[in-house]
């Protein structure tokens, strides 16, 4: 019997340390690992045996976290990296070549929009934007150079829910992997691999770590994409690689007995992400951060349940306030994304949502300054409640029109509701709203 989520959140990926008996995961704060002999070293470098070489390529503490998140997401193998953005860069690096494009939802975290528009352009990768509220826009955007479709499960900042099964069908028909950023939902609320996603990327900085103290990211291989059926499209996966004695990754790592009860699983994408992209681009996760994030992960189910319950209370309360013109939270029964929320994340619609102030831009600026329990900062997914006025901060360089399109109109305030007592959060909002008039 598969163990429950809360059990796996505590135990998956770890066992008492065989050398010391340490029950908590030791922090292997080392750059490098001693080889048994020359033959062992040669095998490790040729990927003929898995093991530790150098912490840029892998580390036992990071490996424990990888095992845990791969298990929680239902993937075959994970690669922990230095940030959520690094996870995105490395996942795309395996798939892309100059001149190819990514079809991406325009409802993405602002930093991801920048990464796709600007940073990736320097690699010769382009992006074609689609709209999660108009699925035909994904079909229309896909062309012969498309190598991935990319959306968030629950989209930042508005808390919008993507119809992942429908997007997966489009990706399938196009013969490209569907990559989902699951940061805002976390595997507790939603497991996109169960809805047709092929690869997960997520920021560990947010809900999985959960305490606002460590930056990290992870790639999870779903193990289901058929690289061999798409040989022309993905040369890194399905043509001989001279780096590694002409090994074809989709062959060499397409069926290894690493699954439950020794079942064969496909870990080819995860190995490629590590053996090419992490090795050569270099954004490794520090063992200390992996330890902090793993400690946070143990309480993920408890925290997410409280985050969602608090968000629901706060959103419901805000809806009844005169100063507030609208609230967008998929947890509310009259929200346009409520039905999708019920389908994809029935345990809750997360803890990040937006609302509008009748007083517009000026009111937004004043509100963030008047809150005391909510911290005014640019993060989400902390135990602490957080607030930001996107128009005057994260989205300030955009025109009013662009701000509105990105879900950051001048009147918009974004909350990331923490795990404090809901009445204290509401009292804080009440005094700040009262101060607006
Ligand atoms: C924060 C965030 C990222 C980037 O993660 P970092 O760890 O900050 O690099 C990506 N996607 C979403 C949805 C995020 O909220």
Q: Enumerate the β-bridge partners of residue 221.
A: 77, 199
Q: Report the pLDDT value the prediction gives residue 1, as an integer from 0 to 100.
A: 67
Nearest alpha carbon to residue 355 among 306, 310, 320, 304 = 320
Tokens representing residue 162 in the block:
């993507």
Is 290 found in the same domain as 338? Answer: no
Output 224-233 pairs: Cβ under 8 A, ≥24 positions apart.
Answer: 224/193, 224/198, 224/266, 225/177, 225/198, 225/199, 225/269, 227/254, 227/268, 227/269, 228/254, 229/175, 230/175, 230/176, 233/147, 233/175, 233/176
Tokens representing residue 196 in the block:
């047709």
List the CATH number of the domain containing 368: 3.90.1150.10
Is 318 found in the same domain as 260? Answer: no
pLDDT averaged over every residue in the chain: 95
Is 133 found in the same domain as 202? Answer: yes
Is the residue at 11 inside a domain?
A: no
CB atoms within 10 A of CB 97: 14
List the CATH number of the domain containing 216: 3.40.640.10
Q: Is the dihedral of CA 386, 162, 296, 57 positive or negative?
A: negative
Q: What is the mean pLDDT of residues 222-243?
A: 92
Q: Report the pLDDT value the prediction gives residue 356, as an integer from 0 to 100.
A: 97
Q: What spacing in Å lies between the alpha carbon of 238 and ligand 1's midpoint?
A: 30
**Sheet strands side by side (includes 178-181):** 77-81, 217-221, 199-203, 178-181, 146-152, 101-105, 126-130
Ligand 1 contact, 127 CB (< 6 A): no
Is 351 found in the same domain as 281? Answer: no
Is the residue at 7 inside a domain?
A: no
DSSP 256: B
Ligand 1 contact, 205 CB (< 6 A): yes
Is 281 found in the same domain as 326? Answer: no
Which residues constitute the domain of residue 385? 300-434
Give the end of a domain, one of 296, 319, 337. 296
Nearest alpha carbon to residue 133 among 100, 82, 167 = 167
* Confidence band of 53 (pLDDT split at 50, 70, 90): very high
Ligand 1 contact, 157 CB (< 6 A): no
What percentage of residues in the chain have a pLDDT greater than 70? Answer: 100
Can you give the pTM of this predicted structure? 0.96
- Quick one: which H or E segment has residue 425? helix 422-434
Ramachandran class of 435: left when φ > 0, alpha when ψ lies in -120 to 50, beta otherwise: alpha
Ligand 1 contact, 156 CB (< 6 A): yes
Is 268 found in the same domain as 349? Answer: no
Is the residue at 3 inside a domain?
A: no
Give the end of a domain, one of 296, 312, 331. 296
* Atom number of ligand 1 nearest to Cα 183: 13
Q: Report the pLDDT value the prediction gives residue 14, as an integer from 0 to 100.
A: 94
Ligand 1 contact, 160 CB (< 6 A): no
Is 349 found in the same domain as 379? Answer: yes
| Cα–Cα–Cα angle for 150, 394, 305, rounded to 5 degrees | 65
Per residue in 244-290, pLDDT (tens digit) is 889 999 999 999 998 888 899 999 999 999 999 999 999 999 999 99
Ligand 1 contact, 112 CB (< 6 A): yes
Domain count for the chain, please give it: 2
| Number of residues that this document lists for the chain | 437
Pocket test for ligand 1, best of 82, 85, 352 (most atoms within 8 A of CB): 85
- Quick one: which H or E segment has residue 190? none
* Confidence band of 231 (pLDDT split at 50, 70, 90): confident
Q: What spacing in Å lies between the alpha carbon of 23 and ligand 1's midpoint?
A: 31
Peptide bond into 194 cis (omega under 30): no
SS3 state at 247: strand
Contacts of 195 (CB under 8 A, 6+ apart): 164, 165, 168, 344
* Alpha carbon distances (Å) from 325 to 318, 320, 355, 428: 9, 10, 8, 19
Is 390 found in the same domain as 260? Answer: no
């Amino acid at each position: 019997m598969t163990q429950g989520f809360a059990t796996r959140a505590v135990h998956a990926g770890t066992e008492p340390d065989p050398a010391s008996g340490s029950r908590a995961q030791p922090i292997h704060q080392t750059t490098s690992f001693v080889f048994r002999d020359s033959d062992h070293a040669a095998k490790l470098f040729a990927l003929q045996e898995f093991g530790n070489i150098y912490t840029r390529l892998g580390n036992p503490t990071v490996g424990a976290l990888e095992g845990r998140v791969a298990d929680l997401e239902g993937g075959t193998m994970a690669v922990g990296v230095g940030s959520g953005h690094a996870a995105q860069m490395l996942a795309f690096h395996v798939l892309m070549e100059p001149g190819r494009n990514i079809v991406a939802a325009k409802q993405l975290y602002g930093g991801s929009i920048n990464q796709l528009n600007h940073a990736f352009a320097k690699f010769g990768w382009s992006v074609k934007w689609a709209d999660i509220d108009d699925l035909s826009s994904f079909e229309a955007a896909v062309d012969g150079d498309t190598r991935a479709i990319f959306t968030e499960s629950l989209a930042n900042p508005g808390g919008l829910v993507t119809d992942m099964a429908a997007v997966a069908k489009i990706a399938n028909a196009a013969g490209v992997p569907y990559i989902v950023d699951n940061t805002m939902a976390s595997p507790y609320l939603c497991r996109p691999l169960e809805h047709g996603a092929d690869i997960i990327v997520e920021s560990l900085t947010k809900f999985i770590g959960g305490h606002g103290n460590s930056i990290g990211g992870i790639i999870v291989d779903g193990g289901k994409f058929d690289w061999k059926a798409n040989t022309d499209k993905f040369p890194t996966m399905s043509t001989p690689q001279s780096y590694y004695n002409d090994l074809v990754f989709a062959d060499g790592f397409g069926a290894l007995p690493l699954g439950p009860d020794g079942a064969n699983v496909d870990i080819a994408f995860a190995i490629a992400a590590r053996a090419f992209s992490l090795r050569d681009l270099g954004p490794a996760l520090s063992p200390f951060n992996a330890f902090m994030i793993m400690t946070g992960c143990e309480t993920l189910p408890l925290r997410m349940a409280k985050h969602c319950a608090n968000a629901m209370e706060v959103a419901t309360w805000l809806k009844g306030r005169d100063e507030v013109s609208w609230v967008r939270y998929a947890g509310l029964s009259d929200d346009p994304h409520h039905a999708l929320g019920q389908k994809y994340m029935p345990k809750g619609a997360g803890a990040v949502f937006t609302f509008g102030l009748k007083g517009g831009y000026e009111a937004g600026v004043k509100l963030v300054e008047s809150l005391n329990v909510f911290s005014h900062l640019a993060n989400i997914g902390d135990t602490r409640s957080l607030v930001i006025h996107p128009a005057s901060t994260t989205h300030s360089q955009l025109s009013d029109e662009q701000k509105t399109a990105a879900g950051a109109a001048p009147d918009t305030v974004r909350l990331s509701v923490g795990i404090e007592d809901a009445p204290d959060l509401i009292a804080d909002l009440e005094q700040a709203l009262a101060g607006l008039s």
